[in-house]
Chain A
Amino acid sequence: MNRYTRRTLALEMLMIAVAIVFAFPVYVLVNLAIRAPSDTSSPISPTTAPTLANFTQAWQEGGLGGALINSVIVTAVSVLIVLAVSSLAAYPLARSTAHWSRGTFLLIMLGLILPFQLAALPLYQTIRDLGLLGSVWSLVLFYAGLQVPFTTFLYVGFLRALPRDFEEAATIDGCGPLTAFRYVVLPMLKPITVTALVLNTVSVWNDFFTPLLYLSGSDQQTMPVAVAGFVGQFVSDWNLIFAALLISIVPVLAVYLALQRSIINGFAGGLKG
């Protein structure tokens, strides 16, 4: 049953053919990004005189460097905050059977259903009144709150399946609750923390609608907003636009290739949570 038969070979060919179809758009992306705008041959025929000029021009004119730094700051700080507060909140929510605990958990889970479009406009007004429009810190605040329900959901599910013996032993040994959490519970949460880290990082990094609202009209940008602005500015200069698109996905793909196994497991890990 587990041998490599002729049928396996046929399946292998078929799957590789499917993969080529999937990869085709990325081939065109690279092919056009390295092509001089004067070259008007078919987008699918390989570029004969590759150039890096589009990349340097896109980098200089698109303000992509500043956007990259903003994206890194916003993602790193907000994900760190959301992991800290959600794991801490999940601990009593998973352990206590009191009414307040169940009620609080349900209240937070309500956030899984509420679409951000509902909160986006009133929050826009609050952020404007606080004078935070156009500041990346408005985004940090936004994501730190927005991602709480999903992250808490993951942690509570994982904690409920964990035995209590270790934390009880720690308490008997005289540990305070915060110490027990920090040194006993948190290390055991590592697998689900990786999952939550991956999923939150990807959704915060890729979000477009929120920074479009909160940063519009300012000189601050995140990567997705910078790319959209770039497309608006260089409307049909697709070689340049493709270079900008490629620059924007290289950091993401680099991290993906380096941590491929934990990232894929992270995405699949929501299943067990």
Chain B
Amino acid sequence: MTTDLQERLPERTAVPTRSRRGRAAPPWWFTVPALLLFTFVVLVPSARGVYYAFTDWDGLDPDFAVIGLDNFTAIADDPDALQAIWHTLLIAVAITVIQNGIGLLLALGVNTMIKSRNFLRALLFAPAVITPIVTAYLWRNLLGPDGAVNSLLSAIGLDSWRQNWLGDPDLALWMIVLVVVWQFAGYSMVIFLAGLQSIPKEIYEAAAIDGSGPVRRFWSVVRPLLAPALTINLMLSIIGGIKLFDQVYALTGGGPGHATDTISTLIYKDAFTLGEFGYSIALAVVLTAIVAVASAGQYAVLNRNERAAS
């Protein structure tokens, strides 16, 4: 209320711009370079993308027709597309749960008096800085028929467990999840660790003196205070999982068959090997909607939890 009133006061038009209590506000034109870049690279192309989703544009021909919802009804009738949407959701949820579960356990393990804690922290985080496409090619070999994973199984007497891990339609999707979790569990760990270290020691010690065991201490004391770290971690892994492309492209290329196709790999194939830009962009709009719903839902739930915890 007051800010609204004060903003209408005539002194606001004085030069240089002054806001409340005579403070000089930095000028608006500071935002111009960032806005120009953002508009050119993100805003305008995204808006055009949404428009193209309602056309039959092939990416080259300047003559194209607006065809309404046809691309979207085509998606709804396309079993490959529906399967890709399902895979996208499954991968995102599986990565989110497993990566954060392991990340939290690692963080709890490293946040102790063990002597190797700094070394372990650095080592476990290291995969997160490696190029995802590189880790995916590495794992493509490890998971191959004569790869190191099968060799390891033989070496420990589990010959019967040997598989063509990426060639089996039932397993391939989980192998993608495994590779992403291997690479980014250390990332989740680091964020949880920052959350753990922001909890004052006194709180923890007070709970110990009160006689609560480690599990109880974790659940009643540590867990609520980890809420901000959990928010960031869930956000990063779910959105990263929905948009996942590089790992699928390099590990399976969406195969065998369409067993591991996600929305992102279909967008790429439809646009650049089939030339169906309109259809491809309609898929990108579906992807955008999923990301938006996931972010909004997560924001609402976690916001409530954080408020309940404080």
Contact = CB atoms under 8 A, between A and B. Distances in A.
B126 A92 contact: no
A224 B194 contact: no
B274 to A, nearest CB: 13
Nearest to B53: A118
Contacts of A119: 41-42, 45-46, 49
A249 B109 contact: no
B101 interface: no
A257 to B, nearest CB: 8
B124 A19 contact: yes
Contacts of B126: 253, 256
A221 B180 CA distance: 25
A118 B37 contact: no
Contact of A268 (B31, B146, B193, B281): B193
Contact of B116 (A12, A23, A82): A12
Nearest to B114: A12
A264 B121 contact: yes
B160 to A, nearest CB: 18
A209 B248 CA distance: 12
B50 interface: yes
A256 B129 contact: yes
B27 A177 contact: yes
Interface string A252-272: 110011001001100111110
A148 B131 contact: no
Given A113-B288, A117-B264, A267 B124 contact: no
A2 B46 contact: no
Contact of B155 (A12, A22, A44, A171): A44
A18 B121 CA distance: 12
Nearest to B110: A15
A85 B271 CA distance: 33
Interface stretch (B75-83, B136-144, B168-176): B136-144
A209 B245 contact: yes
**Which residue among B23, B131, B132, B228 has the maximum number of chain A CB atoms within 10 Å of its CB?**
B131
Contacts of B127: 22
B295 interface: yes
B163 interface: no
Interface string B1-36: 001000100000000100110011111101101110
Interface string A107-151: 110111111111111111110000000000000011011101100
Given A85-B33, A264-B125, A15 B120 contact: yes
Interface string B93-126: 0000000000000100110111110001111111
Nearest to B123: A19
Nearest to A31: B148
A123 B41 contact: yes
A121 B284 contact: yes
B280 A252 contact: no
Nearest to B204: A1
A59 interface: no
Contacts of B125: 264, 267
A82 B41 CA distance: 13
A164 interface: yes
Contacts of B263: 117
B285 A121 contact: no
Contact of B59 (A81, A121, A171, A264): A121
Nearest to B195: A271
Contact of B42 (A3, A18, A88, A146): A146
B228 A271 contact: yes
A19 B95 CA distance: 20
A106 B109 CA distance: 39
B89 interface: no
A1 B217 CA distance: 14
Interface stretch (A48-56, A95-103, A186-194): A95-103
Given A115-B287, A117-B267, A267 B137 contact: no
A148 B25 contact: no
B85 interface: no
A268 B190 CA distance: 6
Given A92-B30, A121-B49, A177-B24, A228 B133 contact: yes
B52 interface: yes
Given A145-B38, A149-B42, A268-B191, A115 B243 contact: yes
Given A122-B49, A126-B45, A171-B24, A91 B30 contact: yes
Top-8 shortest CB links A-B: A145-B41, A119-B45, A89-B34, A268-B194, A145-B37, A122-B48, A123-B45, A85-B34
Given A16-B120, A22-B123, 14 more contacts: A15-B120, A22-B127, A42-B151, A43-B151, A44-B152, A98-B19, A99-B7, A101-B28, A115-B243, A118-B45, A118-B284, A123-B41, A177-B24, A260-B122
7 contacts: A14-B109, A25-B142, A28-B138, A32-B141, A42-B155, A114-B46, A267-B128
Interface of B: 3, 7, 16, 19-20, 23-28, 30-31, 33-35, 37-46, 48-50, 52, 59, 106, 109-110, 112-116, 120-135, 137-139, 141-142, 146-148, 151-152, 155, 182, 186-187, 190-191, 193-195, 205, 208, 228-229, 232, 242-243, 245-246, 249-250, 263-264, 267-268, 271-272, 277, 280-281, 284-285, 287-288, 291-292, 295
